[in-house]
Amino acid sequence: MPFAFTRHESLSPTQQHQLLEIELLPEQIRHVGDIHGGLHTLTARPAADRQGFALLKDDIPRGFFVLKRRSLLPDWARDHAIVTTTLHALMIDRRFQGLGLGKQCLRALPELTQALWPDTEQLMLAVETGNHSARQLYLALGWQELPERNGDQPGFERLMLLTL
């Protein structure tokens, strides 16, 4: 299932409306929030330290995610010796899940990130401990799970790292 990335601000008005129609299952909303919350993260300043992307399939937004760096990094990703970019709010429309779109997105993410911010040395994300399918996908694609910080209880997050 081929797709294309496009920056959020490059979406046409029609695509902006279509992006708002991304649907997630209730348990996924619990893990990543909904599209409105994801879009809200794009209001953070400075704008140079974050970028939202839509995943287009047949020119229609079917997924979304946000990348952050520098001043917008969460505390768990701050290590001044290593240039890090973090992944947030990765969501694939429920009607397009299971078709490999998320996997293709994650495979293309290192190249996209380094094209956007060439100094990036690693990608990081936080995933809820109970989100087993996401954790398994990240591990299968070469991400490393960092040592526990909050235990293995629902609601807690595990940190994942991908060295570029």
Q: Residue 149: its pLDDT value, please?
A: 60
Quick: pLDDT tens for 102-113. 999 999 999 999
Quick: pLDDT tens for 12-67. 999 999 999 999 988 888 878 899 999 999 988 899 999 999 999 999 999 999 99
Least confident of 22-36, 88-102, 133-147: 22-36
pTM for this entry: 0.91
3-state helix/strand/coil string of the chain: CCCEEEEHHHCCHHHHHHHCCCCCCHHHHHHHCCHHHHHHHHHCCCHHHEEEEEEEECCEEEEEEEEEEHHHCCHHHCCCCCCEEEEEEEEECHHHCCCCHHHHHHHHHHHHHHHHCCCCCEEEEEEECCCHHHHHHHHHCCCEECCCCCCCCCCCEEEEEEEC
Domains and CATH numbers, the chain: 4-163 (3.40.630.30)
